[in-house]
Structures are given as structure tokens and as C-alpha cells.
Amino acid sequence: MAIITISRLTGSGGREIATATAQALKFRFIDRSAMDVVIDQQFPVRTEQLSRIKKDRKVYDEMVRSAIAEIAALQNVVILGIGAQFLFARVAASLHVQIVAPLPYRTARVMRLANVDRAAAEKIIEDRDRDKEASVTTLYAKDWRDPAHYALVLNIDHFSNEISVEIIVKAAQAKGIEATAVELPPQLREDILTAKLDVAQLADLEPAEGKLPEFAHPSEREFARVMDFYRIKWQYEPKTFPIEWDENRNVVKAFTPDFYLPDLDLFIELTTMKQSLVTKKNRKVRLLREMYPGVNIKILYERDYKNLIFKYGLTDGEDDNKGNGDHAA
């Protein structure tokens, strides 16, 4: 899978170049107008739920980033705008492109396409570029105009659209991004999960009870139901990690995280216990991270979990204070 992000100055013709690049490579094209479709594929929320969620800008932005990241991990994509160059900045299988042009070129183009005079065209350019700057700064605290964020910067005053597309295609092929697996950074994988949990809080979730294993605690069953609702694959306690040995190298203590989410390569440990036991569990997670640095694990604390479960009525009223130990041998 491969990711090409294209950012452009207003009036530079970046949209036409992005769509033509996607067509030339047979990649999926994603822009802001396609967000509802992309979100619908990753978040099973009804139209009225999405309208409500959009009112919470922070959660909606999380949804957008999460949905784009999950699509990009599964398909070859060309993404126009949306700050995707920062979302996938650390993904090796990506190429980040910026399309620029001098202001006179952009002004003349906007005048022609929008059928407006020079003053109106300059205002359109100023307003739209300012909106992009505000959006990217809010989401990523980055300067989207800085060429250092891009592997390729094309000044369209010097190239036709066709040549620009050819340059991007050849750059992608030379970098070998299509032959490189998309590995989402651990923090981005955690962000995807966080977004899904936040959306669960704003949506009227009614997950169907399916065939579930014997869980040690009701909170684990409810978490599994939420994962099923979102079509997130999960495994319950699939692996135990030794974390302490005696002098004869016999395992004396081990740690079994509650869940593993294979698509996110992320272990989840739920904790709804009192603080003294949480401290003990944190120590074991810290040991696991030190001894197994390649393992990604996230703890969901009581405050996070109760927001998800109780606020939106997913619990069946069972006692939440029994069980849910740390599954340590």
C-alpha cells in the first residue's frame, strides 16, 4: 500500500494534479468532500448521529484523521489537503508533495475559473489559504507552507499539469512506496482507538450481543461489544509475557493484557480498580515495555472506561468493582 499526499496553494491547480495522479496510478482519491463516505466506511454511525458529532469539532477531527489512517493502511491513496502530510509524516510508504505557483499566476487562474475581477480573486486566495493555515495549525501546530515538510515541491509556473503528474508518479516509483507496507506509528494507532471511543460516547450505541468468551470482568465484555460495533478485530488474553524470573530463570511473574487488536497491533489493558491496584498494574506495564520494546500496549483507566460504558448505557448493571485483576501469574 502507498500514500501520496498533495498540498497546494489556492489557485495553483493542485486539485487537478492530484486527481490526475490518482487516475494515472489507479489509486483511490480522497479529499475533504469525500470525508462522509470515508467516515461511513470506518464508523458505523447514522446520518443524524454524524450531524451531532460534527458539532463537536475536536471529536469530528479525530474521526477524520482516524478514518483516513485506516483507509490508507488498506488501500493505495492520493490524499488532497486535510493536513495528511503531517498525519503520515513518519510513514515510510508515503510521498508528500506541495504544489505552488507565484501569486500572479494563481490570481489569473482564479479570475478565469471563478469569472471574477483581480481584487475578488486575490481575496479568494487570501481567505482560503488563511483557512488552511488555521486548520492545520489547530490540528498539528505546523506551518503547512514550509517546504521542509515535503519530499517534492512543484512550481506549476514551470510545468504543465501533465508533466507535474509524470514527475509525481516517477518520484513515487523511485521511492518504492507502493512496494512498502504501510506501518502506522504506534501513537497514530492509539489515536485511532481513542477516536473510536470518543465517537462511541457521542453516538447512541446499541451493539448486538454476539458469541463472547468467558470474561473475567463485566468491563471486558462491554469493551468487546464496543469493538464488535466498530468491526475492530480483537483477541481476548491471547498472550502472556514473563516479566520476572528467579535465580534459576524460572518465571515467577507474568502479565497477560486483556485484549489484543491485531489490525492496530495494540494490546489493551482495562483497569477499573482502586488507585493502589492501578499503581501496581502500571508497574507491570512499565516492566513489559522495558523488556518487550516492540510491544505496543495502552491502559484504559477507570475515568476513560466509565465515560464510555456508563454515560451511554452500555452496562447491564453488574458490579464493576469485582474481578478485573491484572491477570498476573
* Per-residue pLDDT tens over the stretch 228-272: 766 677 888 888 888 888 887 777 788 888 888 887 788 888 876
* Residues 136 and 121 sit within 8 Å (Cβ to Cβ): no
Beta strands in 9-57 (DSSP E): 28-30
| Higher pLDDT pick, 210 / 101 | 101
Distance CA 207, CA 215 (A): 17
Is the whole-model pTM more than 0.75? Answer: no
DSSP letter assigned to residue 56: S
According to DSSP, residue 177 is labeled G
Q: State residue 73's pLDDT score.
A: 76
Average pLDDT, the chain: 77
Tell me the per-residue pLDDT of 29-64, one tens digit each, with 9 for 90 and over: 988 877 777 777 666 665 556 666 667 677 677 777
Average pLDDT over residues 202-223: 63
pLDDT in tens, 87-120: 888 888 889 999 999 999 999 999 998 899 999 9
CA 213 → CA 96, 220, 314, 322, 325, distances in Å? 44, 10, 18, 18, 17
Residue-level pLDDT at 104:
92
The residues that bridge with 100 in the sheet, in sequence order, are 155
Q: Of the ranges 133-142, 144-153, 173-182, which one carries the lowest mean pLDDT score?
A: 173-182
Q: What is the pLDDT of residues 280-309, one digit of tens each?
A: 777 888 888 888 888 888 887 756 655 554
**Which residues sit opposite 152 in a β-bridge?**
97
Torsion (CA) 145, 146, 147, 148 in degrees, nearest 10: -150
Residue 209 has pLDDT above 60, yes or no: no
What does the DSSP 8-state code read for residue 92? S
Q: Which residue has the higher pLDDT, 251 or 209?
A: 251
Instruction: For residue 4, list its beta bridge partners.
Output: 78, 95
- Secondary structure of 266-298 in HEC code, one letter for each residue: EEEEECCCCHHHHHHHHHHHHHHHHHCCCCCEE
CA 126 to chain centre: 30
